[in-house]
Amino acid sequence: MSVITRSKFLIGAVVATTLALLSTACGGGEVRTSGGVPVLRYQGWASQVVIPELAEDLGFFDGKVKLEWQGNTISGPQDIQSAATGQVDFGGAFGGAVAKLAQGGAPITAVVNYYGSDEKTFTGFYVPENSPIRTPKDLLDKKIGVNTLGGQSEADIHTALKKAGFNEQQIKSVQLVVLPPPNTEDAVRRGQVDVAALSGQFQQRAIANGGLRPVFTDYEEFGPFNGGQYVFRNDFIAKNPDSVRAFVDGVAKAIEWLKTTPRDQVVAKFTEIIEKRKRSGEDASSVKYWLSVGVPAVNGVIVDADFVRWEDWLRDTGAITGSFEPSKFYTNKYNSQAPK
């Protein structure tokens, strides 16, 4: 099965599963409290600090909400599906995944950007230095290691190949191999995949280890851009607007803190957070490779372009048909720092 066909199947399966789970989900948007403070359930990422965790540690939630870790996610699409079905209260994924789930009928709303790409932080597609792969035109029939199907790396690859002049049938020859981010570097070094999609601290660690070079990066393709958003279920927002507002404002403050705080202090804070939470199997050593938050939008404010950027990929893979109106599934209403 081709990567495009597999992705189309995955998109349909995820949306169908999400909607089925929504029909049986309980809770109705109710939020649990601890000591009178609303508790927001969420998933983290192994050996990383997500922005809400940083916001809580820095006191940016002003005591109005608390976080409760439910485990680690494997991908953005999985994370927002968990939010849509009520397994957690919020989740984050790249804009294309948010759009496809919302367009499929999931009652979710994006409330703040939380990651993106800039000149320091981006997704790159790396090969060994002696690889014959030099440009996106060399990617046909190759295996590329990515963290998930239907995620930003797939959209990046699709966009790069279309810009290179390839049609949909040719693009289908690319094989995407799903790998955990900590293992992707090793897979390309061992020749298990031809190309590795690497970002964040795993990318910087791979670069520090030497012997790899980028074929292209999403920053080269798009320039600085907002990559993904945190979402809540609509019923949760309706019943807990003050909690959502406290969350969004805290995340917005944390984004700006990351932009203005010296890098060594950020690394020290991330290390402190990981070490004191004592989660099994975690290692704080890779946070030393952190470079920037990568969110160009001030205070994480969302705009239509954060979703429209992925429209061609969404249509080509069958994720959306008909009209596409991003303003229907995001809001800056709960971001007090957003322009009025």
pLDDT digits (tens, 9 = 90+) for 251-288: 999 999 999 999 999 999 999 999 999 999 898 998 99
Query: Could you give the CA distance from residue 103 to residue 239 in angstroms, rounded to a whole number?
Result: 23
Distance CA 304, CA 104 (A): 18
CATH class, domain 3-116+227-328, is: alpha beta
Classified as helix, coil or strand, 92 is: strand
Give average pLDDT by consecutive 10-residue segment, the chain, 340 residues: 46 48 53 94 95 98 97 94 97 97 96 97 98 98 96 97 95 96 95 97 94 98 97 98 98 98 98 95 91 97 98 94 95 91
What are the start and end residues of each CATH 3.40.190.10 domain in the chain?
3-116+227-328, 124-220
* Under 8 Å between Cβ of 125 and 206: no
**pTM of the full structure:** 0.90
pLDDT in tens, 221-243: 999 999 999 999 999 999 999 99
CA separation (Å) from 169 to 172, 197, 239?
5, 22, 47
Output the CATH code of domain 124-220: 3.40.190.10
Looking up tokens 């190759």 gives 142
